[in-house]
């Protein structure tokens, strides 16, 4: 089992819809969770971080964390064509091993006008 | 200028050649990382360094070595390149524990390496 798993997609949504991106992780002791966006040919950039159970909202983006289910998701409301990118889920290790992020393989999102 | 600078941006080389990818940063971060990205596999950690005297292997360190020449410089070497090391390589930095956003990574623009 991979440490961090995502559906590679592509996930296709119409403009204005809600895009839902999901990620599961295997290490129950993980403490920090991140979503990075990567446009084709570019480097990843951080869009959301979440550290405790529940929802965290930032503009059109909402990150959701459920540690019991070892599940983290990213919702993008009012999706725009400019949101078309690959979204990488990253998980930080448990105490004593928190120094490195493990990434999922990424989900490609296509927002169609 | 970019906060995290990688050189070269593109490199084509032949099997058996020694290659060095260089990374420098102006963010003042203690932690530096080298990741490799292959289609469908996401980012995989090669090596990471928490300070000049601390270097650690990541998931896929075989065939690679690193050098942390200074707080701001972290180089990745392929002693004898092979075709399956063809990939996009990213250097990244983070502030480290005790800092705001301790584990938030800032990436360089990437170095695309092709081994023929």
Q: Does A101 touch chain B (CB under 8 A)?
A: yes
- pLDDT at res. B68: 96
- pLDDT at res. A12: 96
Q: Which residues of B touch A100 (CB under 8 A)?
A: 33, 45, 48, 56, 58
Structure tokens at A15: 């403009």
Burial class (CB in 10 A: 0-12, 13-18, 19+), A74: buried
pLDDT band at A97 (very low <50, low <70, confident <90, very high): low
B97/A98 Cα distance (integer angstroms) = 9
- pLDDT at res. B104: 85
Of the candidates B110, B115, B51, B46, the residue with the CA atom closest to the CA atom of residue B76: B46
Contact call for B103 and A8, based on CB within 8 A: no
Confirm if B78 and B63 have CB atoms less than 8 A apart. Answer: yes
Q: Which residues of B touch A4 (CB under 8 A)?
A: 42
pLDDT along chain B (116 residues), means of 10: 91 96 95 92 91 91 96 96 96 78 87 97
Alpha-carbon dihedral sign for residues B9, B14, B15, B16: negative
Contact call for A42 and B109, based on CB within 8 A: yes
Q: Which residues of B touch A49 (CB under 8 A)?
A: 101, 104
pLDDT band at A94 (very low <50, low <70, confident <90, very high): low
In whole angstroms, how far apart are CA B14 and each of A18, B17, B82? 46, 6, 8
B77/A29 Cα distance (integer angstroms) = 33
The pLDDT tens digits of the residues spanning A18-77 come to 999 999 999 888 888 999 999 998 999 999 999 999 999 999 999 999 999 999 999 999
Residue of B nearest to A9 (CA): B40
- Chain A nearest-CA distance from B74, in A, is 16
A67/A26 Cα distance (integer angstroms) = 11
pLDDT band at A16 (very low <50, low <70, confident <90, very high): very high
DSSP letter at B83 equals G
Place of tokens 């090391």: B85
- By Cβ distance, the residue of A32, A98, A104 closest to B42 is A104
Burial class (CB in 10 A: 0-12, 13-18, 19+), B62: exposed
- pLDDT at res. B109: 97
- By Cβ distance, the residue of A43, A101, A104 closest to B103 is A101
Q: Which residues of B touch A107 (CB under 8 A)?
A: none
Confirm if B1 and B104 have CB atoms less than 8 A apart. Answer: no
Does position A3 have pLDDT exceeding 60, yes or no? yes
A17/A21 Cα distance (integer angstroms) = 13
């Amino acid at each position: 089992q991979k440490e961090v798993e995502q559906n590679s997609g592509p996930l296709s949504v119409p403009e204005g819809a809600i895009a839902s991106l999901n990620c599961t992780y295997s290490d129950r002791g993980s403490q920090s969770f991140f979503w990075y966006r990567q446009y084709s040919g570019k480097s990843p950039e951080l869009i959301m971080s979440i550290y405790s159970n529940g929802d965290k909202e930032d503009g059109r983006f909402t990150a959701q964390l459920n540690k019991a289910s070892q599940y983290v998701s990213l919702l993008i409301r009012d999706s725009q064509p400019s949101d078309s990118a690959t979204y990488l889920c990253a998980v930080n290790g448990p105490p004593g091993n928190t120094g490195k992020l493990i990434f999922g393989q990424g989900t490609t999102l296509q927002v169609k006008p | 200028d970019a906060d995290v600078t990688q050189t070269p941006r593109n490199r084509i080389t032949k099997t058996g050649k020694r290659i060095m990818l260089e990374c420098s940063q102006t963010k003042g971060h203690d932690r530096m990382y080298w990741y490799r990205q292959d289609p469908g596999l996401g980012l995989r950690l090669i090596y990471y360094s928490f300070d000049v005297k601390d270097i650690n292997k990541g998931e896929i360190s075989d065939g690679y070595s690193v050098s942390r020449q200074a707080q701001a410089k972290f180089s990745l070497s392929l002693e004898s390149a092979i075709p399956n090391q063809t990939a996009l390589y990213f250097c990244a930095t983070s502030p480290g524990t005790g800092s705001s956003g301790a584990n938030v990574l800032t990436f360089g623009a990437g170095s695309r390496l092709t081994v023929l």
